[in-house]
């Protein structure tokens, strides 16, 4: 997105560092650092036509309430403070860029985004995240399969929640 507005963060960073009369190695290292920043990553994902994982949901057109609940849990976990600060900053940038890019199509944070933060906070190795995501969804997937099998045709599963009313999270 930055490139679309004639702004290249890595080139700008190299020029700023050079303007301080610093050496070329420092300028190049600074430019490399700008390339890995979250703003650059998000812009590159858009340019490649990729979806941002953790953003957008076919049901929720506002901020996913499950993401809000997990964000609250993650923020209370002191063990991932530095990583979580980065995740919150990336979320803010991504939401702003999604709004600019798709003003008529609300794409907000979904449950996957903060699930990873909570799993990291409880010490689960990252290579187990996909399996954990899958386990958490198995009951829902099963319900969808059973619903579709009962009518013997391709359907969009009914997602009307009929369980207990909203309740607060227990204090940690």
Of the candidates 47, 72, 100, 112, the residue annotated as catalytic is: 112
At a CB cut-off of 8 Å and minimum separation 6, what does 88 contact?
71
Contact assessment for residue 108 and residue 57, using Cβ atoms and an 8 Å cutoff: yes
- Helical segments of 20-163, H only: 24-35, 38-47, 65-75, 81-101, 111-121, 129-151
Q: DSSP labels for 132-166?
A: HHHHHHHHHHHHHHHHHHHHTS---------SPPP
C-alpha to C-alpha distances, 15 to 12, 24, 27, 99, 140, nearest whole angstrom: 5, 10, 7, 30, 52
CA distances from 88 to 71, 107, 150, 153 (A): 9, 16, 42, 41
**Annotation marks residue 100 as catalytic:** no
**Active-site annotation holds for 112:** yes
- Catalytic residue, chosen from 57, 72, 91, 100, is 57
Active site residues: 57, 112
């Amino acid at each position: 997105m930055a490139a679309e507005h004639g702004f290249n963060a890595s080139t700008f960073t190299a020029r700023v560092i050079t303007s301080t009369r610093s050496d070329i190695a420092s300028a190049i290292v600074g430019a490399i650092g700008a390339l890995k920043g979250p703003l650059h990553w998000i812009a590159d994902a858009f340019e490649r036509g990729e979806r941002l994982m953790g953003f957008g949901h076919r049901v929720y057109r506002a901020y996913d309430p499950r993401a809000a609940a997990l964000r609250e849990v993650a923020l209370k976990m002191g063990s991932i403070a530095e990583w979580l600060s980065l995740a919150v900053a990336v979320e803010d940038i991504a939401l702003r860029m999604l709004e600019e890019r798709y003003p008529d199509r609300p794409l907000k944070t979904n449950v996957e985004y903060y699930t990873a933060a909570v799993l990291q906070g409880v010490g689960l190795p990252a290579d187990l995240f996909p399996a954990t995501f899958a386990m958490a969804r198995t009951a829902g997937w099963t319900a969808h399969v059973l619903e579709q099998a009962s009518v013997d045709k391709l359907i969009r599963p009914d997602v009307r929640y009929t369980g207990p009313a909203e309740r607060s999270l227990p204090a940690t």
